Amino acid sequence: MRRLSGLLLAILLAAFCVSPVMVAVSQETEAPPKPATKKAKVKTPADAAGKDSKEAEKAAAPTRKPDVVFVPTPQDVVDKMLEMVAVQKTDLLYDLGCGDGRIVVTAAKKYGCKAIGFDIDPKRIEESKQNVEKNEVGKLVKIEHKDIFTLDLSKANVITLYLLPSLNVKLIPQLQKLKPGTRIVSHDFDMEGVEPEQEVKFTSKVDSRQHTIYLWKAPIKKEGAKAKVEKD
Ligand SMILES: C[S@@+](CC[C@H](N)C(=O)[O-])C[C@H]1O[C@@H](n2cnc3c(N)ncnc32)[C@H](O)[C@@H]1O
């Protein structure tokens, strides 16, 4: 009798073990899956190249003094300069000596074009970068620590200047290589020997001063430059 009841108990236990109740219980008590551990960021060659290229950029940065001190163009004069060159969304604008970055930031914000600001002074580069960040135009605007006299300007469609008359003249060889149709606009200073297409007097509400804005279109021609005489 005892053997029989033991056998019955064994059968009952076996049946209980495969019953849905037991399956559910066993699933509930299963250890929870371990959360995926955060993989350590693997340094890729691209990461390394990025670091290297930043270091290379730093090493290549100019160390000499600016050719002209920073004086900002009043904001309403910036607006007038950009209006005169009729900036388009598809343009690439270069500001040669970008100061606090106001021209490149305004061009990107107002016209949605791409722009690069170049300056030789690390302090101005810092200010320009902060200006770009503050105005959230980082997708359109780049700031580069470069000497403007070392630049290849051939990719630009618009060039903005606020330098000095002598520096504008020094830029002529680079400006002569611009793509035809590229517009050049200069605040207050002309370019001796190169006749502007337009010259506008504009009184700023910011400083109540009259400013002159000059406009040229590439290809620029130096006055007095003798046309090559074709000889046969
Ligand atoms: C008069 S500020 C004009 C700033 C800005 N474009 C504006 O209109 O408000 C001239 C700027 O040119 C920069 N600069 C002077 N010589 C330079 C050079 N050789 N290369 C690059 N930047 C230069 C100065 O640091 C300064 O920020």
Instruction: Give the model's pLDDT for residue 84.
Output: 98
Nearest residue (by CA) to ligand 1, atom 6, is: 98
Beta strand extents in 110-197 (DSSP E only): 114-119, 141-145, 158-161, 183-187
Q: Tell me which of 63, 64, 65, 69 to substitute to probe ligand 1's pocket, judged by most ligand atoms within 8 Å of the beta carbon.
A: 69
Instruction: Give the model's pLDDT for residue 222.
Output: 81
Which residue's structure tokens are 């009259």?
A: 210
Q: How far is CA 190 from CA 25, 125, 153, 196, in A?
A: 88, 26, 19, 8
Find residue 116's DSSP bridge partners. 94, 142
Structure tokens at 218: 């590439």
Beta strand extents in 104-225 (DSSP E only): 114-119, 141-145, 158-161, 183-187, 198-203, 210-217
Instruction: Give the model's pLDDT for residue 210.
Output: 98
Ligand 1 centroid vs 201 CA: distance in angstroms? 22
In short, whether 148's Cβ falls inside 6 Å of ligand 1 is yes
- Atom from ligand 1 closest to the CA of residue 97: 12
Would you say 163 and 203 are in contact if contact means Cβ atoms under 8 Å apart? Answer: no
In short, whether 98's Cβ falls inside 6 Å of ligand 1 is yes
Is the whole model's pTM more than 0.95, yes or no?
A: no
Q: Tell me which of 63, 163, 166 to substitute to probe ligand 1's pocket, judged by most ligand atoms within 8 Å of the beta carbon.
A: 163
In short, whether 206's Cβ falls inside 6 Å of ligand 1 is no
Q: CA–CA separation, 98 vs 58, rounded Å?
A: 18
Domains parsed from the chain with CATH numbers: 75-217 (3.40.50.150)
Tens digit of pLDDT at every position of the chain (232 positions) = 445 444 443 443 344 333 333 333 333 333 333 434 444 443 433 344 455 666 777 777 888 999 999 999 999 999 999 999 999 999 999 999 999 999 999 999 999 999 999 999 999 999 999 999 999 999 999 999 999 999 999 999 999 999 999 999 999 999 999 999 999 999 999 999 999 999 999 999 999 999 999 999 999 988 765 444 444 4
Would you say 79 and 143 are in contact if contact means Cβ atoms under 8 Å apart? Answer: no
Instruction: Give the model's pLDDT for residue 221.
Output: 86
Termini Cα distance of the chain: 133
In short, whether 147's Cβ falls inside 6 Å of ligand 1 is yes
Ligand 1 centroid vs 184 CA: distance in angstroms? 16
Instruction: Give the model's pLDDT for residue 55.
Output: 77
Instruction: Give the model's pLDDT for residue 60.
Output: 76
Q: Which of 113, 156, 104 is nearest to 133 (CA)?
A: 104
Nearest residue (by CA) to ligand 1, atom 27, is: 99
Q: CA–CA separation, 115 vs 91, rounded Å?
A: 8
In short, whether 68's Cβ falls inside 6 Å of ligand 1 is yes
